[in-house]
Amino acid sequence: WETHRAAHVMASYDEEPADWGSTHREGWKSVAERPFVAGTFVWTGFDYHGEPTPFEWPSAGSYFGIMDLCGFPKMAFYLHRAQWVDDVPLLDLMPHWNWPGREGQAVKVMALTNVESVRLMLNGGLIGEQKVDRYTMPSWQVPYAPGRLEAIGYRGGREVARSVVETTGAAVALRITPDRRAMAADGEDVQPYTIDAVDARGRHVPTANLDVTFALSGGAIIGLGNGDPVSHEAEQGNRRRLFNGLAQVIVRAGGGGAGTVKLSASAAGLRPAISNVRRLATPARPFVAPARMTLTVQDWRQSPAATARPSPDIVLADNDMNSWLYVRAGEIQPPQGSGRWTVLRAKLTPHRGTRERGGTIVFKDLVGRGEIWIDGKRAATKPDFAAATLRVAFPPGPGERIVTLLLESDGTVASGLGGLVFVED
pLDDT digits 0-9 by tens, 230-245: 999 999 999 999 999 9
Residue 70 has what pLDDT?
97
Residue 299 has what pLDDT?
95
Provide the strand spans (E) within 316-387. Answer: 325-328, 341-348, 359-367, 369-374, 377-382
* 174-280 to CATH, choices 2.60.40.10, 1.10.40.50, 1.10.150.650, 3.30.420.40: 2.60.40.10
Residue 81 has what pLDDT?
97
The enclosing H or E element of 29 equals: helix 24-32
Percent share of the chain, pLDDT over 70: 100
**pLDDT band for position 319 (50/70/90)?**
confident
Q: First and final CA of the chain: distance in angstroms?
A: 53
> What SS3 class is residue 401?
strand
**pLDDT band for position 287 (50/70/90)?**
confident
Q: Which among 124, 142, 171, 133 is positioned nearest to 33, based on CA atoms?
A: 133
Domain ranges (residues) in the chain? 5-166, 174-280, 294-424
Q: Which CATH class is domain 294-424?
A: mainly beta
Q: Which among 174, 205, 179 is positioned nearest to 273, based on CA atoms?
A: 174
CA distance linking residue 235 with residue 250, whole number of Å:
10
Q: Which among 93, 94, 107, 92 is positioned nearest to 142, based on CA atoms?
A: 107
> How many Cα atoms within 13 Å fall on the side-chain side of residue 222?
14
Give the tens place of pLDDT for each residue, 302-317. Answer: 999 999 999 999 888 8
325-349: average pLDDT: 93
CA distance linking residue 235 with residue 51, whole number of Å:
19
DSSP structure class, residue 211: E
Residue 383 has what pLDDT?
96
Q: Which phi and psi (to 5°) does residue 71 adopt?
A: 85, 10
CA distance linking residue 423 with residue 394, whole number of Å:
8
For residue 291, pLDDT beyond 80: no
Residue-wise DSSP of 219-243: EEEEEEE---TT----SSSSEEE-B
Largest distance between two CA atoms of the chain = 86
The identity of residue 247, as a single letter, is A
Global pTM value: 0.68
Q: Which residues have CB under 8 Å from 231's CB, separation 6+?
A: 60, 241, 243
Cβ(403)–Cβ(297) under 8 Å? yes
Residue 208 has what pLDDT?
97
Q: What's the mean per-residue pLDDT of the chain? A: 95
Task: Confirm whether 5-166 and 294-424 share one CATH topology.
Answer: no
CA distance linking residue 177 with residue 192, whole number of Å:
9
The CATH fold of domain 5-166: Immunoglobulin-like (2.60.40)
For residue 322, pLDDT beyond 90: no
Give the tens place of pLDDT for each residue, 45-100. Answer: 999 999 998 999 999 999 999 999 999 999 999 999 999 999 999 999 999 999 99
Residue-wise DSSP of 7-28: GTB--SSS----TTS--HHHHH
Residue 320 has what pLDDT?
82
Percent share of the chain, pLDDT over 90: 87
Residue-wise DSSP of 344-356: EEEEE---HHHHH
